[in-house]
Amino acid sequence: MLLAVFLFWVKMYVVYKFIFAIAAENTVQELILLFSSLSSLLFIFGIALFTKGKMYTHTVLCSAVSLTILLCSNIMFYGFFDDYLTVPVLLQTSNFSDLGSSIRELLSYRTGLLFMDIIVLWYVARKWPQIIPKDKLSIKSRSVYFVGLITLFIVHLSFAEKERPQLLTRSFDRKILVKNIGLFNYHVYDVILQSKSSAQRALADSDKLIEVENFVGGKRKPKHDLFGIAKGKNVIIISMESLQQFVINNTVNGQVITPFLNELIQKSYYFNEFYHQTGQGKTSDAEFIIDNSLYPLDRGAVFFTHAGNQYVATPAILRHYGYYSAVFHANNKSFWNRNLMYPALGYHRYFHGQHFAANATNSVGWGLKDREMFEQSIQQLKSLPRPFYVKYITLTNHFPFRLGVKDQIIPPYDSTSSTLNRYFSTVRYSDEAVRYFFTRLQEEGLYEDTIFVLYGDHYGISENHNKALAQYLGKGEFTPADVVLLQKVPLIIHIPGQKAKVMSQVGGQIDVKPTLLHLLGVERERDIHFGEDFFSPLKEQFTVFRDGSFVTEHYIYTRGVCYNRNGEVLDVTHCLPYIKKARLELRYSDKLIYGDLLRFLNNR
């Protein structure tokens, strides 16, 4: 048993350092990281002390296998999402069948190496059976063992809390938690948080809603010159899968990456300080933020955990103005629980995978290619009642970014990251697919009377590929401030006939709902949102990320450090007013969702 603990302890430290790339700033932090997993491993493997003989061996080996599978799951999840698993994510079992290509991309020989300690344990048990205890350990010995490991955990937690104050209240920052209390202790803590969040709805009342309303009341801004400029027009929103801003107006291998989007920007409102704010829900989080102007949850995806809540989403609001709403997405209807969540948001219709003709020729990776989706949707789009509010969700530019040679308009990039190399080709393909869609809309007479909103849903290139991305962007090495700025995604609002303008206000996906409603001339008194109208001259230059990081006109705050916009470290006092505001926004938004507080809005 102690051999199992030692081998797994070494394995965890290697994974922390070389796969999760957890860095320590000093010797104390290094020791905290080193010992972070020991108490949990002693506890889990210590269950074997209640057994003897073959059962003892089976308990040790089963513990090692189970923990390794959990570790591998976290490694694969981290490989793309740069995050750790949570209970809500594990409950999203309906998504697993669609993750095949992404999982295969992340599997490698290193995955097999993670099971080497189990082979060693099995060999030792077979080679030297005499070391297997014939009798159970005495109650006194077991008591000493478990009291010792509890003492070890308390001492370790005390040092971690001293090094990182308010450690256990920072549940939104999973990287800090794993670094300080270890992966398996974090999972136990996550189960506790899940139980706590489940109780919040039962205990919620309308008084908590009033508290949130008072906080967001100041976000309502007066009308401006563009108020109602798109009144009565159709709305088409295009969620651009994994599209980051660094590809806009840029080239690779001497070829333009996004020629159509570049052209569209020249006759649209283009927001060059626009950030995605997604959490573990990724694309579904982006949809949630765009439609509700609420923050995603710190754990899991709202689409899964709270599809039964009541919301005041854009499609539900526009129903009162005669709009028909629909979503086009050529994926499994239950992926991200969309078939249940869309009705909760007020959508009339969902055109999903069963409404499209997909086959091996017109599909790649996660499903139907973008151009095929646009082409097959035209007749259905034309048949919708007008005005309509329609959302398209593209798919081709999805990790692992694989595309057949005949669809590669530009060849792959050449760097140390095969993921980044393929990314440019799929971005270029999606750009051309959107060009085709706009052309078809003009031919079908749907273009002139429509307002278009195109946005990047989340990052495409995770921090695991920062070295290659830095090479492409001509930078030596990314600082934490650079990583925050890389979360910029495009936002293009195109109103046919309107002049182009580059908008440099700092904002995020949370600002899209109030911005769009103002352009449509919609005023809502009974609504709660955390975003602000981009076109208001009074808009605050501020956007918050799910992990508590934020960007303002002058500052960047991330991982407990305050930077100026040039990436220079500042005294944290410069960021303190915004730190408080960011935490309040996230806390109040969480209260709305966990407590389902919007159900009280229509009862007053």
* Residues identified as active-site: 283
CA atoms within 13 A on the CB side of 221: 23
Q: How far apart are CA 522 and CA 105, in angstroms?
A: 45
Q: How far apart are CA 170 and CA 289, in angstroms?
A: 22
Q: How far apart are CA 273 and CA 277, in angstroms?
A: 13
- DSSP letters spanning 235-286: EEEEEETT--GGGTT-EETTEES-HHHHHHHTTSEEETTEE----TTHHHHH
Angle between helices 2-18 and 27-35 (to 10 degrees): 130
Cα 597 → chain centroid:
23
Q: How far apart are CA 586 and CA 295, in angstroms?
A: 7
- Residue 127, burial from CB neighbour count under 10 angstroms (0-12, 13-18, 19+): exposed
In sequence order, what are the residues at sequence separation of 6 or more whose Cβ sits closer than 8 angstroms to the Cβ of residue 372?
A: 330, 356, 358, 362, 363
Backbone φ and ψ for 249, nearest 5 degrees, come out as 55, 35
Backbone φ and ψ for 391, nearest 5 degrees, come out as -120, 130
The structure tokens 């309906």 sit at 94
- DSSP letters spanning 322-339: T-EEEEE--S-TTGGGHH
